Structure 1
Amino acid sequence: MLAEEIAASLGMPIIPWHIKSTTKAQQGLYEYDAVSRLRDSQLGDDKVHDIANYIEKGKLWDAFDADNKVVLLIDEIDKADIEFPNDLLLELDKMEFFVYETGEIVKAKVRPIVVITSNNEKELPDAFLRRCFFHYIQFPDRETMKEIVDVHYPDIKKDLVKEAMEIFFDVRKVPGLKKKPSTSELIDWLKLLMADDIPDEILTNRDTSKAIPPLYGALVKNEQDVQLLERLAFMNRRQASGNNSGGPG
């Protein structure tokens, strides 16, 4: 969202490059389709004489080739392998790269604004980070989260949001969770609560330390975390039961 906001506020187009685990740095520059060229040569196609016909431009090429300043979003860079950031160091530093097949140098006509996002799933190389201006986006507080929910579900019942958010933030505070529920999990969970027409009373004053939330599968996406919540709930219920049954000797 940060890149989109920058682009919108500055009136610039955005070029998004969404990174996957299989993405290679070279794909951001260009890809040469040698197989298609070989096939066309066997078929006698005249376009084989121009190798540029078999080069597919990547997102960096698009950004460098733009006549006006653009925002280049490299989204979730930590999904790729550990060498991915280093493989882009020179190109992002110099704002140019060499195309071996054609012998041309692609230089940025206008230096783009490059926004790189990471979920901290992997540590990024120090050499790469030294070239970055780091900005950490804090997790939304309750008021901001309510505004986010209102954007997604403007007609949702206020009591449902209030009680659901109490549970959501309680779950996030549980020590030892491997994956704390995020904003997207809250949005999905609320959608399920509305779809199942869960009464507000089921959520009201619900003690998450003694019972896991309804439809918890939308909130907790790690098996160990589910077991942790179940174990904590069981232990707290047993302790509460022992306290209630105890008396003077």
Structure 2
Amino acid sequence: MDATFNKFKGDIKTDTVKYLADPQLRNIVNVSIALGRPLLVKGEPGTGKTMLAHAIALSLGMKLIIWNVKSTTEAIDGCYMYDTVQRLNDSRFGSEDRNVNNIRDYITFGPLGEAFDADEQVVLLIDEIDKADIEFPNDLLQELDVMEFYVKETKEFVKTKNRPIVIITSNNEKELPDAFLRRCVFHWIEFPARGFMSEICNLHYPDLKANLLDQCLKHFYAIRAITKLRKLPSTSELLDWIGVLLKSGITLEELKEGVPFLGVLIKKEKDLEIAIEKLKFPT
């Protein structure tokens, strides 16, 4: 495979980020980079959608810019903000740093604008796009398609200097418009099978004994197999749970007798009751 296509290698291990992507995810990231299209990533909460952007940025040696989407977020928020209040204050009281007659002094770029204005290529994470209003993705069509936006106060277009690598995550809470989907490359992160999950755990806890890890995974997948649970434990919760087990100094024999610290894995009261009943041993 061409080296220019295979930019993202799929694994990263630093003090702050440890990430392992399966071959399908690694390949689709490189497809997105090659096409210059945003990568829309969906999957269960806790499967590493957000951390993927961190891993890509670290792997490629690029700056990561994060746009955390909320229910009140509008597309313009990611482009720029015009500070009318500051300009009004400066017109009354003056300013040593800003020229009240220069509107550009009162324009601040949002995450999208910052990514467009960067002198080098960056990774832009638009996190949890489905939290916003249904029209939010449609309002980004122009910006993500041609990589520019219009600043009405200055009557100027801001165009990208270096097309960013755009990663968009969604928890599938809302359907995204077809017009938006056409502009993206898509990937669903499957929940890791036991073998791959073992690799992920070993990446985070390289000194974890194999028999202890095997027992952890046995309990974890048994819990996920309980059909009545409303919220299944995720990869991130499994990693937290293993960390707690190691810090507590629990032995393999103790772990075989029960599932300690079950509240690290299960976060709903009814789910906890169901799990305790199904597992049939003290927690």
TM more than 0.5 = yes
**1:118 and 2:118 are equivalent in the alignment:** no
Aligned residues: 230
Change (3 A) 1:195 1:21: farther
CA distance in 2, matches of 1:188, 1:12: 28
Tell me what 2:267 maps to: 221
Unaligned runs of 5+ in 2: 1-50
Q: Return 5+ residue gaps in structure 1 as ranges.
A: 207-212, 237-249
- Secondary structure of the 1:48 match is coil
Q: SS at the partner of 2:172? A: coil
2:135 to 65, 75, 83: 83
User: In 1, are the aligned partners of 2:226 and 2:278 still within 8 Å (CA)?
Assistant: no
Tell me, in whole angstroms, the C-alpha distance in 2 between the residues paired with 1:112 and 1:221.
Answer: 37
The separation in 2 between residues aligned to 1:199 and 1:20, in whole angstroms, is 43
How far apart, in 2, do the equivalents of 1:77 and 1:123 lie? 10
The TM-score with structure 1 as length reference comes to 0.80
Q: Could you say which structure has the higher helix fraction?
A: 1
Verify: 1:33 aligned to 2:83, yes or no.
Answer: yes
User: What secondary structure is seen at the aligned counterpart in 2 of 1:47?
Assistant: coil
Offset of 1:135 from its aligned partner?
1.1
Contact 2:79–2:112 (8 Å) recurs in 1 = yes
What is the correspondence of 1:123-202 to structure 2 with a 5 Å cutoff?
Answer: 123-202=175-254
Whichever residue aligns with residue 34 of structure 1, its letter is T
- Bigger proportion of residues as strand: 2
CA–CA distance in structure 1, aligned partners of residues 266 and 74 of structure 2: 31
- Specify the SS of the correspondent of 1:136: strand
CA contact (8 A) 2:65 2:125 kept: yes
Q: Which has the higher contact order (CA 8 A, sep 6+)?
A: 2
Deviation above 6 Å: which 4+ runs of structure 1? Answer: none
The alignment yields a C-alpha RMSD, in angstroms, of 2.6
Cα distance in structure 2, aligned partners of 1:143 and 1:10: 27
The 3-state SS of whatever aligns with 2:236 is helix
Kindly provide the amino acid, as one letter, of the partner of residue 135 in structure 2.
Answer: E
Report how far residue 12 of structure 1 moved.
4.5
